[in-house]
Amino acid sequence: MKVRLDLAGELDGELDDALVESYPLEDGATVDDLVKALPFASRVALTSVNGELVRPGERATRRLDDGDEIMILPAVKGG
């Protein structure tokens, strides 16, 4: 299965464009599986699938389907 990633903020440019357009995952993968596979997993704050927010506590049960679009947002720093 392949999904499309939309990396926001400081995460934009962290992955090769080909991976962003078509990120490979095992069938039955969850949002949590995806986040853990990313090299910047520790910086992921929010995720959405096809425009629907997936809270951190829901990531382990939210299954992904082929062609889903996942937006990934980093934690915002500032002060």
- Domain positions in the chain: 2-74
How far is 30 from 48, CA to CA, in rounded Å?
12
Least confident range of 13-17, 49-53, 64-68 = 13-17
Q: According to the CATH classification, is domain 2-74 in 3.10.20.30?
A: yes
Confidence grade of residue 77 (pLDDT, cut at 50, 70, 90): confident
Sheet with 23-24: list strands edge to edge: 23-24, 2-7, 69-74, 44-49, 52-54
Global confidence as pTM: 0.92
